[in-house]
A and B are shown apart, each in its own frame.
Chain A
Amino acid sequence: MADQTFPLNAWYAAAWSHEITRALAARTICGKDIVLYRQQNGEAVALENACWHRLLPLSLGWLDGDNVVCGYHGIAFNSDGRCVHMPAQKTINPSACVKSYPLIERHRMIWIWPGDPALADPSKMHDFHWNDGTEFVGEGGTYYSLKCDYRLIVDNLMDLTHETYVHAGSIGNDAVTETPFDVTHSRRIATVTRWMNDIEPPPFWAKNLGKPGNVDRWQIIRFEAPSIVVGDVGVAPVGTGAPEGDRSQGVYGCFLAAITPETEKTCHYHWNFVRQFRKDDAELTRQINQAHVNAEGKGLYDQDAFVLEAQQRAIDNNPRLPFYNLNIDAGALWARRLIARMIEDESTGVTGLHSEAAE
């Protein structure tokens, strides 16, 4: 088996809150088939999506109150995954269970812990408050089952020099490739910071700033292992103090990514772009959403998705070829190192022992 590409003991985005209702929703997350639904009290539940009896996906069954009834022979499981009804017998086999997965609902999303439930630690939940719809606004979406290793998206977002080539004409310009950047890192977080001072703004930012002249432009991209990326990006008229911390004359926002491995080679890419300017402008919200992903496949992220899937196909077709690295890859390489460390810690049991803390 290939080396594991993702840790299991981590919180991953499973769905947008509004997607999980009183209907059964199937997802594969970190190679695990999962069924999601909401109980009558509104609380979301995630169970293993394979019936204990004959493995029929439970998502093909139905809800009876808070229980899931298998659509094949009618075994029912409660929200803990325990069997509560068995057809044609008076007792219930005590080993009849499906796994139930810890969930947290926060920041307008539902987050799942696919690993050891005993280690599911709410304090390990990522910061994703930018998505709350308060300080910033924006409506995003998800590429479900995007055909690439989730780490290729991390690479993509941690190195924005690709904007110049993939997104020429909207946010890309030469300044991005010409300006050096700094990388800082801690155990869980790697940050790439790039200030492009006194440059001509690219079209998207020129339009939203609505002021003539050159700008100071920034991209501060924060990666939180294993798969959250938040890019603080914006522009302010040159010399108004943005690099020193005064952004009052500028416009800015954040691109948000909560990337969830589906399998080793596919992922669910939950994305958003949220902004701090013209927050009441619903039409602008719609336009920005459409500019990222649209039905014609011409959005900014559609361009990335095209590149990422093509890259994965090339990796699959050339399995023996390694990646080579450039100076621009430093952010991505730090991100990958933090991911690798999480996987390593998990396999050596640093985070893996249930009760060591008690000893």
Chain B
Amino acid sequence: MNVANEWRSARVKSIRDLSADIRLIEIEMSGPFAPAAPGSHIDIAVEIAGRPSTRSYSLLGPGRDGVHEVAVKLASDSRGGSAYMWTLKPGAVLKTTAPANHFDLNLDCNEYILIAGGIGVTPIHAMARALAAQGKDFRILYGARTRSDLVLAEDLRALAGERLQISCAEDGQRVDIAAAIASLGKEGELYICGPIGMLDEARAHWSRSGRPPANLRFETFGNSGRYPNAPFTVLLPHIGRTIEVAKTQSMLEALEAAGIEAMYDCRRGECGLCALDVIAVDGVIDHRDVFFNEEEKAEGHKLCACVSRIAGTSITVDTGERPA
């Protein structure tokens, strides 16, 4: 990781269910407290199938009185981070990092569009608060699969009023990213957080519009794909190994658990250091990274093992390791 961030202890202060599967968790931090800039997240040490792991959660706002808020959606097919978070009760002791920010909001701009997909609304909420406080010109497009997923609609309505546009798939609506981009002023910036399909769509429209790439800001924690999570097999012919990736594991984690060396840095699909050469696939690659562009993903010569998966039975890859 780029930022050396130390673990510190924290405590679950309170829990409130926002819907049947989305829960707001207030976390009381220890040590010196500073309000977090919009777009910030904290890392939380979680336990998945008995193994320690780390998940990142965006903060809903700057926090106050030593307390930060995250929202966690219990995903039945997730890699298990949310299931762990849902076992927590008030008073539970956690290990977290101090807030860090990879999704900075530039306050120097005159026009903004914020797009939130599903639980990706959490950093967007923090941004909307900051922009509203500064009296900035911003619009929000908030999409989700079901009406009950739109847990922050009322909060966002209070911040943005008419400038909030809601789209719900169960009502046959979807966020019209192309139209939003077309309506944005030349100098405007777009901030988006949501499932990978939404990001890919935004990236494609944005690059076609010829706008400066740096004015499209996005974040993904690499935990959503076009296909549900399922177990699959990884074949490593160069070293004569075969390993199984559990539904709750990433491919990188499975390689590591099997003692196979792999390089990585961000573990969130951004840096490309974990990319492996693909030899064959039985199924389709569910690319969940933002490192490769559209063409590279379509070619499928490589995949980011930290986030991408297979919908199908197996993938044959080369990790670069050779028998001595």
A residues adjacent to B (C-beta < 8 A): 52, 78, 80, 82-84, 89-95, 97, 100, 102, 116-118, 349, 352-358
Contacts and interface: CB of A to CB of B under 8 A. Distances in A.
Pick from A97, A117, A354 the residue with the most CB of B within 10 Å.
A354
B221 to A, nearest CB: 12
A357 B135 CA distance: 11
B228 interface: no
A94 B35 contact: no
A83 B62 contact: no
Given A89-B291, A90-B292, A355 B130 contact: yes
Given A352-B35, A353-B35, A358-B132, 5 more contacts: A80-B214, A82-B214, A84-B213, A355-B130, A355-B132
Nearest to A95: B102
B133 A117 contact: no
A47 to B, nearest CB: 13
A92 B133 contact: no
Nearest to A94: B218
Interface string B222-243: 0000000000000000000000
Interface string B271-301: 1100000000000000000111101100000
A287 to B, nearest CB: 43
Contact of A355 (B102, B133, B266, B272): B133
Nearest to B63: A353
B2 A95 contact: yes
A90 B291 CA distance: 8
Contacts of A82: 106, 214
A83 B33 CA distance: 29
Contacts of B186: none
B130 A118 contact: yes
B224 to A, nearest CB: 16
Contacts of B270: 93-95
A352 B35 CA distance: 7
Interface of B: 2, 33-35, 37-38, 61-62, 64, 102-104, 106-108, 129-130, 132-134, 159, 212-214, 217-219, 266, 270-272, 290-293, 295-296
Contacts of B35: 349, 352-354
A104 B82 CA distance: 45
Contact of A94 (B38, B61, B132, B219): B219
Given A117-B107, A355-B62, A355-B130, A91 B290 contact: yes
B144 to A, nearest CB: 22
A90 B298 CA distance: 14
User: Looking at chain B's contact residues, is the secondary structure mostly helix, strand, loop, or mixed?
Assistant: loop
Contacts of B290: 91, 93-94
A156 to B, nearest CB: 33
Contacts of A354: 35, 37-38, 62, 129-130, 133
28 contacts: A52-B2, A80-B108, A84-B212, A89-B291, A91-B290, A92-B213, A93-B266, A93-B271, A93-B272, A93-B290, A93-B291, A95-B266, A100-B106, A118-B37, A349-B33, A352-B34, A352-B35, A353-B62, A354-B38, A354-B62, A354-B130, A354-B133, A355-B61, A355-B129, A355-B130, A355-B132, A356-B62, A357-B133
Contacts of B296: 90
B309 to A, nearest CB: 20
B174 to A, nearest CB: 23
A84 B108 CA distance: 18
B37 A116 contact: yes
Contacts of B129: 354-355, 358
Given A78-B214, A84-B212, A84-B213, A94 B102 contact: yes
B134 A118 contact: yes
B319 to A, nearest CB: 20
Nearest to A348: B33
B125 to A, nearest CB: 11
A94 B217 contact: yes
A165 B2 CA distance: 53
Nearest to B214: A82
A353 B64 contact: yes
Contact of A97 (B64, B104, B130): B104
Contacts of B271: 93
Contacts of B219: 94
Contacts of A78: 212, 214
A118 B33 CA distance: 17
Given A118-B134, A354-B129, A357-B133, A83 B214 contact: yes
Nearest to B36: A354
Given A84-B213, A352-B34, A355-B130, A91 B293 contact: yes
B212 to A, nearest CB: 7
A359 to B, nearest CB: 9
B130 A91 contact: no
A93 B129 CA distance: 26
A89 B290 CA distance: 12
Nearest to A92: B213
A90 B290 CA distance: 10
A82 B217 CA distance: 10
The 6 closest A-B pairs by CB, nearest first: A95-B102, A358-B133, A82-B214, A355-B133, A355-B129, A90-B293
A83 B270 CA distance: 13
Contacts of B107: 117-118
